[in-house]
Every structure is written in structure tokens, then in C-alpha cells.
Chain A
Amino acid sequence: MRILLDVKRCEGHGVCAETAPELFRLDDDGELVVLFDGDEIPAGQEDASASAVRVCPVGALRRQP
């Protein structure tokens, strides 16, 4: 399973970073930083990634098999 970030849509609300702190964080300028390499969701982060997709208020995250 992969997780895709639509950079144009992301507005740096940072709700995903609170829900899935192992996957995302906001830097001091409010830009989203992806904390894993590539698109593949790291092992053990399936649920967190699904939650991150759901909480994004601008629909900037999406999961893809």
C-alpha cells in the first residue's frame, strides 16, 4: 500500500502529523515533511496512514494499493 501526498493541495494544517507522527511532521514554516522514503507505507503504519488520510481537511492525502 502506498500513500500519496498532493503537494499542491496540502495547506499545512498538520492534522495528519498529529494523527500519524511517525509518518508526517510540520516544519517551523508550516510545510509538511514526509518522514519515510518513497511512497510505500512503512510496516506497522497501516492504520496510522489510513487515519491520516481521513483527517486531512483538504483531501491532500490518498492511499493506493
Chain B
Amino acid sequence: MPCLDPDCWSIVRVCRLFISKRKSAPISSSPPKAQPPGIAQAWSRSILIPENRLREGNLESAGIELATEGADGVEKQIFRNLSGKKDRGVKSYDVTSPFFLRYRSVKATSLNQTHRDMNAKMVDFGGWDMPLHYGSQLDEHHRVRGGAGMFDVSHMLALDIKGETARDFLRQLVANNVDKLTQSGKALYSCMLNPEGGVIDDLIIYFLTESHFRLVVNAGTADKDLAWMLARRDEIAPGLEIIPRRDLAMIAVQGPEARARVWQVIAGSQAETENLKLFQATFFDKYFIARTGYTGEDGFEIMLPAVDAVEFWNALHAVGVAPAGLGARDTLRLEAGMNLYGQDMDDTTNPLESGLGWTVELKSDRNFIGKQALLEKPVKQQLIGLILLDRGVLRSHQRVITRPDQNEGEITSGGFSPTLEQSIALARLPLSVSAGDEVQVVVRDKMLRAKVVKYPFVRNGKILV
């Protein structure tokens, strides 16, 4: 038996030296356009991770990077042992060999190596190898609430919708009404529904021009979303271009000091972005800067060419912005009362029962996919907040028993709130429950008391409950 240790290079040398060229699936119906150098690399980056580490889910995933580098027809496969201290070779390999059968391909953002260099604990998140934390999730959380933190959110997918029929397509595609977008750069949060009224995904839509909108969708749902959009495009708006922008990196800089730190790093950007209102974005130089976020703090979400992401990230770090991982991102968004797709809503849940009624526009005569189902189905449940009164930690899927009627509900997202220093949750409960009530939560073999509250729990550093 050859050595199967992923850190051991010797086995790799005996693997056959070929691999089929990794190509991205054809996605836009429009003819491929000339791409600037670096895009091919951004498209095809993936990482091989030992299967047993993925099963553990939370083990550090020292792995092997497999990427296509170069562009303009001059491409080469590179193979890099990420668990080693330095690059040990540039070769291509047979991924069907027994050695590789123990590995699974996981996608990597352009900041992957940077996260590893910063000692991040990496996890598989929706098929992406992403940082969970860089040492302490709690510290990262507090840095964002009290100063400035940054998140690599390049795993999320930006899509450009281009063509004369863009607005009309989106009117029908999503539950919120894009007619609310009248000023260039303005953003809208919305759900994209299936005909049954279930949530395919939640997304942000930026209005740029009448023939150009930009969407940002979740990482884990990106393939599903794209397939859905392309199929609806063919029915509703043939000829409209839907262009995935994997050539872009996205970095969220969040916290009371976030904007000032960005202005320090991007020379000249202050004058252009100081007066951006919430949910407003603008292009500046190579950056697309939006005053949006997922933490309940002020800040920017910034798109830029993936090839420039490492330099930008390091520059932010140099001015005191703390790297923050998915762990802190989750506790921050939970405190801010922001939904997480796959937990608080999914294909089978109604947005009106997921705390997202405010994003569904039913008043106009506009017809959108899922509207009929929403109008026909009575709303029986609500998403509402819980604060645990006893000791313990609320977690998703725990049962909630309402009093005194003994109706049942379920926690959709729960955890320890670092700001409140107690456990909080979002729960889907019967409409009979209201803020101020006390409920019981089944935690293992105990019934714990929790108070029902309106969320958000925390906004702009202040506790609201």
C-alpha cells in the first residue's frame, strides 16, 4: 500500500499525469465573450479534501488544490499541496486514481490560501471550502459589533441580467416588486418563489440601468437558482442575458468603523460613497461598493475582480479590520434577526410564515411566480424571536410548546448570542403566540422556559429586546 497521507508527496508522483480539462458549464446563452486574464483561474478553482475530513465537517481541511491557471488559451493544471509549507510542484494528475477517490472536490474562493495563512479553521459550506473562524468566533463577533470585521463572501454568486426586458423579467421572477427600484444603484431584497409559494432562494437585486440589473444569490443554491432563472428566461424573456460573475470576489466589511477603514484603503472613495444611503450601491474604480450587510451593523459589501481580492483583503487587515468567519457571520445575523436560507425558510416554506411578508408585494396587479399560491393559502404561522430564560442553548429544530394552548412550533435558528450573553432563537410558531408570552422549549430531556420577543435582537451595537 502506498502512503495515503495527504501530506505525503511521494504517492502523488506515481499517479498518472493526466486529467480532463475542467471547464465551466455553458451558462449564458450569449456567445462567450473575451475574458480578461485571470477569469479562467477564478472559474475553475477547486480543492480536493479527504472524504473523512468532510464527514467530520468541522475538522481543519488540509487538502490539495487543483486549479487551472492562466488564460488566453495558455492554461496549465496546477497541483498544490495546501497542507505543506510551500508549493511543491506543478503537475496534472488522474483524478480517477485510487488516491483521488478518497478526495472530494470542494470549491475555493480566490482568498482560500489567504484564509489558511491566517490560521483559519476551514469547513465545507455548501460545497465551498470556507473559513469558520480564525481562532475565536466570539472575538470576531465582538470586533464587528465594536469596530470593523471582514468576511469573504465570494462563495455567493453575482449574476448580471442584461437586456431590454430585464425589469419585466424580474417583475415576474421575484416576490418583491422591482418597480420600487427607480434610482441607479438602489438595492432590493426579495425572495424567488416556486409556483407553490415556497422559497427557492432569497437574493439582492441591484438596479444599475434599465438594461442591466445585478443579483446576488446564496452559494449553496446558486446552481439551482441559475437553472431556474434560465428556464424562466427562456419562457418569459428569450434573448435576455444571465451572466454569472465568478470573476468577481465579494468582501463584506462590517461594523461601526467599517466605512472609515474602507475609505482608508480605497483612495478617493470617501467622497463617492459617504452619502450612499442604506441599500444603495455605486461603482468606484474597479470596485462595486454597496451599503448593505448581514450583521445589523453599518458597512459595505464590496465586489471587485477576484484577482485583486488578496491585495484588498490584506490592505484592510493592515488598517485594523479583523478577519471574521462563517461562525461569527451566523451569530451576527441571528442577533440582527436576518433569515438564513435553508434554516429559516426553504422550498417548502411560505415567505409569509418565515418573517418575510415585508418583502412580498401583493398589492399591485403584477403577476409573479408563486403569487397565486400565496393568495390562496391561509397563513397559520409566524417567525418570531425567543430569548431563553433558563440556562442552556437553543438550537434549530428544537420543539417549542406554547402555553396555555399546548400548540407546537419549531426553532428554525438558535444559538448563543455573544452580545446578549444568553441564548436566542428564531422560531416558527402559531399565530396565537405574541411578544411577551412565555413558551417552553424541549432541550434534550428538559423543558426550558423562553420569552417570546419581536426581533431584531441587536442593531447597530444596541440591544433592542
> Do A and B interact?
no
Binding site for B on A (CB under 8 A): none
Binding site for A on B (CB under 8 A): none
